[in-house]
């Protein structure tokens, strides 16, 4: 076995349920854990069914389920399929639509991890006799000072710890992330070497329930149209919008505002049903206020010097974090562009994930 095939086992011979999406990452996670001597079972969550075109190959839940089943046949491990579709719609999809209707930019993957994968699924696998839940996330869990720490993946290019900040230290001993030290290329290689049927499967789209990544098309039939005014910072009406749900902070194209200069969405105001626009430099924020805070270990009671990410793809920035009873104030060392209410802000100390919260508002206004 190559060096990159090994991952921290934290005790061999445990019964481990691997959440199999039907993709290559979770398939390799299952293979590695089986090779480490664990009793592995594959569990696929049926979450969302896309309508396929007549004659098209199975997609959505059906395609993922059959790929997961094929992986289990190859690895000679049991396969289970659990229908969480109604709860997924309630906890993730309805939340997604509700937040956009409020002029916010939600992160449904954070909600899914918190409430479905590490919520509903973590409970359901107990009925299958599993001691641990494993996933194909690129992140790490390590013991520290009598407890456990959640860490970034060893390779920054694949790190997914941003989506996991809601995990609590108490659940970390029952979780396994076998791919935390791997690169994507290594995972592809391991899948091919083991003859896994998903070895060449393309990377999945960002959101499993939004076909082709077209958020507007998905929201169109789920949020009633509510046209309103596009205004500048002085309140002057520059045009009309088709509904604040179809705009995000930082957006430039499709404003419907003819002002003779480049304008960007600065703010979405559901109370007045207006889209506020202005020049790009007004997108810069010196900080933000976050609520719905959660921390992996004990909630800090003081001001901390940390790094923070305001979006999954954004770079970390040095930050002063002030913790209050119900919210946190984040002060950036350098102004950040397009701080969007509804998105997650995640706090780090080096490689360690401290926790995070949901952005309430930028503080440069």
* Contact (Cβ atoms closer than 8 angstroms) between residue 117 and residue 82: no
Percent of the chain topping pLDDT 70: 90
Q: Which residues are catalytic?
A: 112, 208
75 pLDDT above the threshold of 90: yes
Among 137-141, 238-242, 332-336, the least confident range: 238-242
Q: How far is CA 355 from CA 46, 112, 300, in A?
A: 29, 17, 10
Structure-model confidence comparison of residues 181 and 203, the more confident one: 181
> Using one digit for the tens of pLDDT, what is the confidence trace for 286-323?
999 999 999 999 888 889 999 999 999 999 999 999 99
Q: What is the 3-state secondary structure (H, E, C) of 53-90?
A: CCCCCCCHHHHHHHHHHHHHHHHCCCEEEEECHHHHHH
**Which two tokens mark 151?**
């860490």
More confident site: 62 or 120:
120
State residue 177's pLDDT score: 98
| Per-residue pLDDT band at 217 (split at 50, 70, 90) | confident
What mean pLDDT is predicted for residues 117-143?
97
Q: At 145, is the pLDDT very low, low, confident or very high (cuts 50, 70, 90)?
A: confident
Is pTM, for the whole model, over 0.85?
yes
**Tens-digit pLDDT profile for residues 153-178:** 999 999 999 999 999 999 999 999 99
Q: What is the pLDDT of residue 100?
A: 96
Question: Would the pLDDT of 184 be above 60?
Answer: yes
CA torsion angle for 87, 92, 95, 97 (degrees, to 10)? -110
pLDDT-derived band of residue 62, with 50, 70 and 90 as boundaries?
A: low
Predicted local confidence at residue 216, as pLDDT: 84
Does residue 58 have a pLDDT over 60? no
- How confident is residue 61, by pLDDT bands cut at 50, 70 and 90? low
Has residue 57 got a pLDDT over 60? no
pLDDT at 255: 63
Give CA–CA dist 137/317, Å, rounded. 23
Closest CA to 278 of 310, 235, 331, 224: 235
Q: Please give the pLDDT value at position 11.
A: 57
133 pLDDT higher than 60: yes
Rounded Cα distance between 302 and 285, Å, is 23
Cα→Cα distances 349→151, 252, 281, Å: 10, 34, 29
Q: Which domains does the chain have, with CATH numbers?
A: 12-213 (3.40.50.620), 224-278 (2.30.30.280), 284-362 (2.40.30.10)
């Amino acid at each position: 076995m190559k060096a990159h095939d090994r991952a921290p086992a934290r005790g061999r011979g445990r019964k481990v349920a691997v959440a199999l999406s039907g993709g290559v990452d979770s398939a390799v996670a299952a293979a590695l854990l089986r090779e480490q001597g664990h009793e592995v079972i594959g569990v696929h969550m049926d979450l969302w069914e896309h309508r396929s075109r007549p004659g098209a190959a199975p997609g959505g839940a059906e395609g993922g389920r059959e790929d997961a089943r094929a992986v289990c046949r190859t690895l000679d491990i049991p396969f289970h399929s659990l229908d969480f579709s109604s709860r997924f719609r309630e906890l993730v999809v309805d939340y997604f639509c509700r937040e956009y209707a409020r002029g916010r930019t939600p992160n449904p993957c954070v909600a899914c991890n918190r409430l479905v994968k590490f919520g509903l699924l973590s409970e359901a696998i107990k009925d299958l006799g599993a001691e641990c839940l494993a996933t194909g996330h690129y992140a790490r869990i390590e013991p520290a000072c009598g407890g456990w720490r959640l860490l970034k993946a060893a390779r920054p290019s694949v790190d997914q710890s941003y989506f996991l900040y809601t995990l609590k230290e108490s659940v970390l001993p029952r979780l396994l992330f076998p791919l935390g030290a791997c690169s994507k290329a290594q995972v592809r290689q391991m899948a091919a070497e083991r003859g896994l049927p998903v070895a060449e499967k393309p990377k999945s789209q960002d959101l499993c329930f939004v076909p082709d990544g077209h958020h507007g098309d998905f929201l169109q039939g789920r949020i009633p149209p509510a046209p309103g005014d596009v205004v500048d910072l002085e309140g002057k009406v520059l045009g009309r919008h088709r509904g604040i749900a179809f705009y995000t902070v930082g957006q430039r194209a499709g404003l419907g505002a003819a002002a003779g200069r480049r304008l960007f969405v600065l703010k979405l105001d559901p109370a007045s049903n207006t889209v506020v626009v202005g020049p790009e430099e007004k997108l810069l924020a010196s900080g933000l206020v976050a609520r719905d805070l959660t921390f992996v270990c004990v909630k800090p009671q003081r001001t901390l010097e940390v790094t923070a990410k305001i979006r999954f793809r954004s770079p970390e920035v040095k930050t002063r974090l002030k913790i209050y009873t119900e919210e946190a104030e984040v002060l950036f060392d350098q102004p950040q562009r397009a701080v969007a209410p509804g998105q997650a802000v995640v706090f780090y100390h080096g490689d360690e994930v401290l926790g995070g919260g949901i952005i309430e508002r930028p503080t440069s206004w």
